[in-house]
Structure 1
Amino acid sequence: MKKKYSPILITSLALLAQIGFAQDVKLSPEVKQAMDAVSADKIKADITYLADDKLKGRGPGTEGYQMAVDYVIDQLKAVNVKPAGEDGTWLQKVRLRKATPQDAQLAINNQPAAKGSFVFFPNPAAAQINLTAGLAFAGYGISEPGLGYDDYAGLDVKGKVVIVLRGAPEKFPSSVMAHVMSTDNILKVAANHGAAGVFIALPGANARVPDLSRGSYSVLGHNGEVVVSATYNKKISVLAAINAAVLTPLMQQAGKDIRQITDQLKAGTPGSFVIDSKVTLSYASTYQDILSYNVIGKIEGTDAKLKSEYVIHSAHLDHLGIGKPVEGDSIYNGAHDNASGTASVLGIAKIYSQIKAKPKRSILFVLMTGEEMGDLGSGYFAKHPTVPVKSLVADVNTDMPTIIAPLLSITALGAEHSSLANQVTQAAGYLGLEVQPDPEPKQVRFVRSDQYSFVLAGIPALHVKYGTKTADGKNNLNDFVATWRAKYYHKPQDDINGIFDFEAGKKYAQLNFLIGYLVAQDPVRPTWNKGDIFEVK
């Protein structure tokens, strides 16, 4: 029987963890001195190299990505980190499959759907899909009885294609909202209820379906099976996106008003129903397989028992490679995203190299591929680590820390779900940083980076981002970031010539080091909060 949990419980536990159990951090002079060894100039140098045009955007499987791999290995070697990849190497092979949809056909009640009104996500395991099935509208596609919400309650979807809207009830906490509305979770829930397919509806009058002409990516296991994918579930034949041209007639036929339904769902009341229609579809998928790598190093702990457990410091090494030109530039350098995060992990490794008395637990440094393709390198490592999976106790991830202004406050995405909130509060307090709620919950950042792969694997994880505090007291850093993001994020303009505050980069590295170090020193293994959504899954 599932335990009951609520947004109030989750929030209360997070506050208790951050306030009630906070303790002063007492560090040895050696650790304090080591933390000061982080250099803003070195962080700048690492970002400068990794975001150089000669690396051509660090696309997985490219020469530029291999240059990045070689660079970080050299940097880790220089600070006495040992290899922890496959077969005594620094590397873990990640076999990526690029799948591209072809020859898509869709008809509702034998009436062909208009071109541009739908798109099929390619199937990485089946080259040809043909399906005829009934339809059902399943709200947001969420089934969380413990949160008092279930779109599938009383709805028979066995063998049907379910139509869902992207979103979640407004009463849900931001990280819970991000989790339940993720494509991976929507597919999992639909599969658990016996659905044959999922159509994600875009109801806006001007909404366009995504362009998948460049394909989508998955990870193949050693036997060629699909083991990681953000848009594939082996029990679901088809995932598609449809716009209003397909959705509206179906709603009208069922006598439903999509605006009323949307308001109802936002308010937390499901509104699911079977649609008296049939869908007929077919499409093909073509494949291109690519070999890429995660880079993994370790520092061995000192406690006789705890050294067999690992705290992970992670960041993704890849970016978007070469793409559509913007203002005459086609190299997507990824200086902030995520050369800065990689530089931060290298800075953390530097701190550990300066500490003679290593922590009780061992430390893993994992620089991952395929984050921009759907957290693929982290998804593979979390499921198939190069150390025993049960030995992984926590992940402290760094992805695009956005070092464009002084770091005065932080948001620790995911920490509210576990005892890691204790270490966050202690580390932030030591460095004089205020811990704040997520200032941009609609960005659903919790599920958009590699820490989410570890959470899904049952490993407490977090991702530290900026808060709102500013030096001038206006406390509107999120507004400044929004303006910055519009110009630089996922654009060729994200190079070393953009906006940077390398001292903020230094503080990020110190903070994430200290969070991980406190976990590594704590004799008690991190745990999920009692009754948390991730504990009961």
Structure 2
Amino acid sequence: PSLTYFSTSQKEQVDIKDAEIVFVGYAVEAAEYNWDDFKGADLNGKIMLILNNDPQIMNGDQLDENYFKGETRTYYGRYTYKFEQAMRKGAAGAILIHTTRSAGYPFRVLQGSGKNTSYAIDIEGSGYQLDFVSHLDSLTSDKIARKMGKSLPELFQMALDPNFKPVSTGLKLSAHIETALSEVKTSNLFAKIEGSDPDLKSQHILFSAHYDHLGMNHTDTEGDDEIFNGAWDNASGSASLLSLAEAFTKVKPKRSIIILHCAAEESGLLGSEYFVKRPPLPLNQIVADINIDMPNIYGISSDMAVIGVNSNSMGDELKRFAKSVMVDEKQSLRITDDPDPNAGLFYRSDQVHFAKAGIPAIYIESGRKFIGKPDDFYERKNEEVYHRVTDQIDDDWDLNGLERDLRLIFRTIISVANSTEQPKWHSGNEFESAYKNLYK
């Protein structure tokens, strides 16, 4: 199929009649880049046609690092942001133009979207609640562009004009969608270690890790392994939180520590979203989030992936401590940010909901280069076990690297927890304005 479509409105039946389809470029509003694709346009009840990714501003033959982080995908480039924008504008729905280059993956990945069970939290305004949500392949998108007297590449170019404003495609959309709704209940697990300083203990540093996985793998073949164990993803992260919690109880940092085991991450980061939407304490009393998802379980690595490490002062502190951590006598530990910047890994685990609220966050993952193992060892193991029934403890597990990484995280956060200054986003970060609103 050339498109996928479904409703996220949490309604059993949706009927749309002759809704105007309006091209809105990238649907981005980013004050830090002086960027506004809407220019005050009224999109209430309309269908927004949106380009995937960030605006691709060139500087010579390369993407300009001064706009939307250049090669690194920002939250403005995520499909979730686009659909959230449509909800904020009161649109009836949104169609996202998908190209392999702009999305970072082929359209076949999306085929079947809307046919399987999907999940959302039952809070008005959460996620993106739209009557109509669609992903459209490049060939069909080009046909729409031709109706507008353009080609698809010309639509991308048109949206880069600073004076761009929404334009009607001349097309209308009608749809009838029926959705079966049911309720499922689950829980986050939450604990607190009170800080020792009378003035700072009202501020909290939060550690998060999701404890859910994928459940059962039902097959028709007798004897098949039907259990998604999720040992790496993310029992390893959950166990890491327990180890850190035990360590923090022995040193009593000045700021308080929150341990949060998130539910339903695999179903759309829902546990962390619920926590942020219905927090058990004021959000402005949480000053940082350190999320752990699929940390190092395969031994000593020469690197440690800390997604978002270059985005805030907490990451700076971690890099400072990492200089004293030696992999061997000659080599210190290298801290890396997103190993695949265009994939936008920072926006694909629980820390993103805290970041969107303004809370400085980092995301701890496994390193990629393991001492004494082939260069492609991580890639092979990830392909072998990620979201497969084979994600279980095996002979390759070696927790020496995880112990080292957790000791580094512990030292870093003790420093952050005892500092007179709370963590901050770096200037120009896409979450900086939310930070200023949260802590004003």
Normalising TM by the smaller chain, what interval?
0.7 to 0.9
Name the SS of the counterpart of 1:501 in structure 2. coil
Conserved in 2, the CA contact under 8 Å of 1:175 and 1:444? no
Q: State the match for 1:350 in structure 2.
A: 246
Distance 2:163 2:391 in 1: 42
CA contact (8 A) 1:138 1:272 kept: yes
Q: Does 1:127 find its partner at 2:127? A: no
Give the aligned partner of residue 342 of structure 2: 442
**Match status 1:533 vs 2:430:** yes
1:201 aligns with 2:97: yes
The reply to whether residue 367 of structure 1 matches residue 269 of structure 2 is no
1:429-508 maps to which residues of 2 (within 5 A)?
429-432=323-326, 433-467=333-367, 469-471=369-371, 476=375, 479-497=376-394, 499-508=396-405
Q: 1:299 is matched by which residue type in structure 2?
A: I
What displacement does 1:163 show? 1.6
Structure-1 separation of matches of 2:220 and 2:321:
40
- Does residue 163 (structure 1) correspond to residue 163 (structure 2)? The answer is no
Query: Are the counterparts in 2 of residues 122 and 215 from structure 1 also a CA contact under 8 Å?
Result: no
TM-score by length of 1: 0.69
Q: Residue deviations 1:244-268, cap 9 Å, x none?
A: 5643431222222224545776999
- Cα distance per residue 1:341-381 (max 9 Å; x no partner): 1111111122224x2x4111111111110111111111111
Tell me which residue corresponds to 1:329: 225
- Counterpart residue number, 1:189: 85
What is residue 315 of structure 1 aligned with on the other side? 209
Q: Which is further off, 334-343 or 140-149?
A: 140-149
Give the C-alpha shift of residue 446 in structure 1: 0.2
Bigger mean CA offset, 311-320 vs 523-532 = 523-532
Which residues in structure 2 correspond to 1:103-142 (within 5 Å)? 116-132=1-17, 133-142=19-28
* Aligned residues of 2:39 and 2:165 also touching (Cα < 8 A): no
- Following the alignment from structure 1 to structure 2, what is the Cα–Cα distance between the partners of residues 141 and 287? 30
The correspondence of residues 257-268 of structure 1 with structure 2, limited to 5 A, is 257-262=151-156
Per-residue deviation, 1:473? 10
How is 1:237-252 mapped onto 2 (pairs within 5 angstroms)? 237-244=131-138, 246-252=140-146
Alignment of 1:4-43 (within 5 A): none
In structure 1, the partner of 2:438 is none
Change beyond 3 A, Cα 1:508–1:185 = same
CA contact (8 A) 2:294 2:366 kept: no
Q: Say if 1:391 and 1:262 are closer, same or farther in 2 by CA, change over 3 A.
A: same
Which stretch shows the higher mean deviation, 465-474 or 301-310?
Answer: 465-474
Shift of 1:416: 2.7
Q: Distance in 2 between matches of 1:269 and 1:334?
A: 49
Distance of 2:245 and 2:386 partners within structure 1: 27
> SS of 1:291's equivalent?
coil
Deviations 1:101-142 (A, max 9, x none): xxxxxxxxxxxxxxx443333335322211131112233332
The offset of 1:472, in angstroms, is 5.9
Q: Secondary structure at the match of 2:383?
A: helix
Give the Cα–Cα distance (whole angstroms) in 1 for the partners of residues 185 and 323 of structure 2: 43
CA RMSD of aligned residues (A): 3.1
Q: Any stretches of 5+ residues in structure 2 without a counterpart?
A: 57-62, 101-105, 327-332, 435-440
- Give the distance between the partners of 1:192 and 1:378, measured in 2 at CA: 21
Note if contact 1:228-1:376 (Cα within 8 Å) is conserved in structure 2: no
Q: Deviations over 1:10-37 (max 9, x none)?
A: xxxxxxxxxxxxxxxxxxxxxxxxxxxx
Question: Structure 1 unaligned runs (5+)?
Answer: 1-115
Q: 1:177 to 1:517 in 2, by over 3 A?
A: same
Does residue 152 in structure 1 map to residue 52 in structure 2? no
Q: Which residue of 2 is the match for residue 61 of structure 1?
A: none
Aligned-partner residue type, residue 457 of structure 1: A
Q: Deviations over 1:269-313 (max 9, x none)?
A: 979642011111121222121111111112111111111221111
CA contact (8 A) 2:304 2:405 kept: no
**Matched residue, 1:108:** none
Alpha carbons of structure 1 residues 188 and 124: separation in structure 2 relative to 1, 3 Å = closer
Match of 2:169 in 1: 275
Cα distance in 2 for partners of 1:157, 1:443 equals 29
Q: Secondary structure at 1:511's aligned position in 2?
A: helix
- Tell me which of 376, 385, 390 is aligned to 2:284: 390
3-state SS of 1:279 partner: strand
* Paired positions, count: 409
Quick one: distance in 2 between partners of 1:321 and 1:382? 25
> What amino acid maps onto 2:429 in structure 1?
D
Please give the residue correspondences for 1:61-140 in structure 2 after superposition, counting only pairs within 5 Å.
116-132=1-17, 133-140=19-26
Instruction: Spell out, residue by residue over 1:215-247, the C-alpha distance to the aligned partner (whole angstroms, 9 max, x if none).
Output: 211112xxxx44633xx23xx432222335643
| Conserved? CA contact 2:308–2:337, under 8 Å | no
Moved more, 200-209 or 426-435: 200-209
Residue by residue over 1:30-66, the C-alpha shift from the partner in whole angstroms, topping out at 9 and shown as x without a partner, is xxxxxxxxxxxxxxxxxxxxxxxxxxxxxxxxxxxxx
Q: 1:178 to 1:374 in 2, by over 3 A?
A: farther
The letter of the residue matching 2:147 is Q
The 1:534–1:445 alpha-carbon spacing in structure 2 relative to 1, beyond 3 Å, is: same
1:265–1:495 CA distance, 2 compared to 1 (3 A): farther
CA contact (8 A) 2:14 2:176 kept: yes
Q: Which residue of 2 aligns with 1:215?
A: 117
2:316 to 380, 398, 422: 422
- Which one of the candidate residues 126, 138, 143 is aligned to 1:228? 126
Secondary structure of the structure 2 residue equivalent to 1:346:
helix
What amino acid is the match of 1:200?
L
Q: Is the alpha carbon distance of 1:137 and 1:263 closer, same or farther for their aligned partners in structure 2, counting shifts above 3 Å?
A: same
Pair 1:445–1:326, CA change in 2 (3 A): farther
- Aligned residues with identical type, % of pairs: 29
- Structure with the larger helix share: 1
Alpha-carbon spacing, 1:264–1:411, altered in 2? closer, same or farther (3 Å): farther
Q: Could you say what secondary structure the match of 1:188 adopts?
A: helix
Q: CA deviation at 1:161?
A: 0.7
Shift of 1:194: 4.6
Rate the CA distance shift 1:325–1:347 in 2: closer, same or farther, 3 A.
Answer: farther
The 8 Å contact of residues 344 and 508 in structure 1, kept in 2 or not, is answered as no
Q: Is the 8 A contact 2:299 2:401 kept in 1?
A: yes
